[in-house]
Amino acid sequence: MKANRMKHALESIARRGVPDDIDLRAHITSKIERKTFMLTLRARPVMAVLIALLCILLLGGVVYALGRSLGYIPGYGIVEQNVQMRILSEPVSQTRDGITITITEALLTSDRLFVTSTTENIPDNLIVPMSDFKTVTCKGNWIYQLPDGSQLSFVALGSNKMSTPLDVNKVTDMTLRIPCATSDVPVGALPENWEFHLRFIPAPAGMFEKFPVIEYTPVPVPTIPTGTPAAETNITATPALNPISITKLIDTGDSYILIGEIAPQGLVSEVPLTPGSLYSKYCKHGPSLTLQDANGQEISEESTADIDLGTPTANTPEAFSWARKFKKEGLALPLTIKYKDEHWCSASAGPYELNINNNPQPGDEWQVNQQFDVSGVPVTLDKMRVIGPQIATSGGGYIFQLTYPTDHGDLALDYIAVNGYLPINSGFGGGGSDTTVIPPGIAGYDLSEEFPVPPKGKLMIEFIYEVLASQQTWSLQWRP
């Protein structure tokens, strides 16, 4: 009861100076309306700074991503700034039958493992040539086993990122099993199934110099690709988005490292089989990425092998990640990132019937002088010559010598299909070298193909070319 009486008394005192019919809404509204956006910013300077920074970043085409702190360690890659790290206590080495494998360094974090090693004294005569597809070579993945018997698993082949994070502070020992000293020798040619005991200790403070990694959230920039016909530049439809984006920037003091993605759109990778053809018709894209300075000069780049690019975030066909490292010294800014997307499609000429004798011998030659058309380009098969085996599994083959007009750089011979015969080795050469007179504007090249059994008798031959169907070039300017 006392509380109620006190409440009523206070309300009575308050009403003495405030009439019952007063309307405060108009007064309050007028105060709110007069408080402009600039007054708000003056009252909140921190907000003003953040908004100004956001506007600058938007105009630059990127927005800094907040919340994550990454660092770059040269030779190891990108890690979390405050991540716990353990290192190999000392190098571990073994020698068997004169072959030495040394685990020189190892760096372990909760989700990554970096290992460097050397292998010495591999005999050159045991190395299997790249052209030898028959010899079975030693293969197998390195296995990292913890004391409890579990094995480290990784996100993808060749990646140092572990699929299951671990408590790095509890890892003091690990067993490394290496099945092969190298995968370039035949099975059993060298000692196999190596085993190393690795001991890890905490990395001393300040042991690794970490360079901050600035992350960007790309802002799509509507652009029209260079090379678009003038009649199409005034289109009213929504223009395509620039496929180039920058996702990370690293400043190492004397160099910059740019990391980004390319997300092409609307690509066609396959077209139907041509009826009656000896080959599968296809289309493919030939992407290339270059950096140019403000003077239009291409910038020389350094290795970025220590950076794991991972999977691109763009969910589009044929998207890929990229990284470029380049020196600051003498760099003329702004930098221009150029991405060229060439669309190549296969085209064939033939099949043509050629009669070869039933006993071709190395050195035999035929003057063919067969001209054919490849997407409007006249190409001539001048001659064929028999060659002996160049690899152990070959029975010999042919060199096809061809000539074509030099002003057609948008044409490239892919291979020559001989009906009923599968080549096992091929290679391009200069071509036309033994032609006495080459008319102006004509260039030559040759293609050698080897087979388990050399084709002979009546042959059906088809020439498969890659033709440049279209190309687009996109660019994005950047400055630090």
126 phi and psi angles, rounded to 5 deg: -95, -15
Cα(324)–Cα(337) distance, integer angstroms: 10
**pLDDT of 213 strictly over 50:** yes
State the alpha helices, DSSP H only, in 365-410.
Answer: none
Which letter does DSSP use for residue 281 in this model?
-
CA 184 to chain centre: 25
pLDDT digits 0-9 by tens, 257-266? 999 998 876 5
Tokens read off for 145: 């086993």
pLDDT confidence of residue 76: 85
* Contact between residue 432 and residue 401 where contact means Cβ atoms under 8 Å apart: yes
**pLDDT band at residue 430 using 50, 70 and 90 as cut-offs:** low
pLDDT confidence of residue 202: 95
**Most confident stretch, 4-8, 38-42, 120-124:** 120-124
Tokens read off for 280: 């599968």
Cα(163)–Cα(168) distance, integer angstroms: 14
**Most confident stretch, 146-155, 431-440, 466-475:** 146-155
How many Cα atoms occupy the beta-carbon half-sphere of 129 within 13 Å?
A: 8
Reported as type and span, the H/E element at residue 10 is helix 2-15
- Which of the residue ranges 45-49, 291-295, 312-316 would you say has the lowest mean pLDDT? 45-49
* Contact between residue 415 and residue 464 where contact means Cβ atoms under 8 Å apart: yes
pLDDT greater at residue 29 or residue 454: 454
- Which of the residue ranges 68-82, 96-110, 210-224, 367-381 would you say has the lowest mean pLDDT? 210-224
Nearest to 104 by CA among 172, 198, 182: 198
403 phi and psi angles, rounded to 5 deg: -130, 155
Q: Is the pTM of this model over 0.85?
A: no
**pLDDT band at residue 19 using 50, 70 and 90 as cut-offs:** very low
Q: What is the mean pLDDT of the chain?
A: 77
Pairing of strands 143-145, 113-120: unpaired
User: Which residues make beta-bridge pairs with 287?
Assistant: 341
CB within 8 Å of 226: residues ≥ 6 apart:
472, 473, 474, 475
Report CA Rg, the chain: 34
pLDDT confidence of residue 250: 96
pLDDT confidence of residue 467: 81
**Percentage of the chain exceeding pLDDT 90:** 34
Tokens read off for 475: 């660019």
Which letter does DSSP use for residue 149 in this model?
S
Biggest CA pair distance of the chain: 125
**pLDDT of 416 strictly over 90:** no
pLDDT confidence of residue 375: 76
pLDDT confidence of residue 346: 82
Cα(246)–Cα(218) distance, integer angstroms: 7
pLDDT confidence of residue 252: 95
Tokens read off for 305: 């092998």
CA distances from 63 to 55, 66, 216, 362, 415 (A): 9, 9, 5, 66, 47
pLDDT confidence of residue 134: 79
Classified as helix, coil or strand, 402 is strand
The number of beta carbons lying within 10 Å of the beta carbon of residue 242 is 21
CA distances from 72 to 62, 214, 251 (A): 21, 10, 9
110 by Cβ neighbours in 10 Å (0-12 / 13-18 / 19+) ranks as: middle
pLDDT confidence of residue 271: 46
CA 42 to chain centre: 48
pLDDT confidence of residue 65: 46
pLDDT digits 0-9 by tens, 153-168? 988 756 788 888 899 9
Tokens read off for 11: 């309300």
Beta strands in 138-295 (DSSP E): 143-145, 173-180, 192-202, 211-218, 244-251, 255-262, 283-292
The whole-number average pLDDT for the span 103-132 is: 90
470: left (phi over 0), alpha (psi -120 to 50) or beta: beta
**pLDDT of 277 strictly over 60:** no
pLDDT greater at residue 132 or residue 429: 132
**pLDDT of 342 strictly over 60:** yes
* Contact between residue 122 and residue 181 where contact means Cβ atoms under 8 Å apart: yes
**pLDDT of 474 strictly over 70:** yes
Length of the chain: 480
**pLDDT of 11 strictly over 60:** no
Dihedral angle computed from the Cα positions of residues 306, 219, 40 and 36, in that order, rounded to the nearest 10 degrees: 170
* Contact between residue 221 and residue 477 where contact means Cβ atoms under 8 Å apart: no
**pLDDT of 94 strictly over 50:** yes
Tokens read off for 382: 């001048």
87 phi and psi angles, rounded to 5 deg: -125, 160
**pLDDT band at residue 46 using 50, 70 and 90 as cut-offs:** very low
CB within 8 Å of 197: residues ≥ 6 apart:
92, 173, 174, 175, 176
**Percentage of the chain exceeding pLDDT 70:** 74
Nearest to 87 by CA among 106, 71, 114: 106
**pLDDT of 102 strictly over 90:** yes
Nearest to 357 by CA among 366, 349, 369, 348: 366
pLDDT greater at residue 260 or residue 390: 260
**pLDDT band at residue 348 using 50, 70 and 90 as cut-offs:** confident
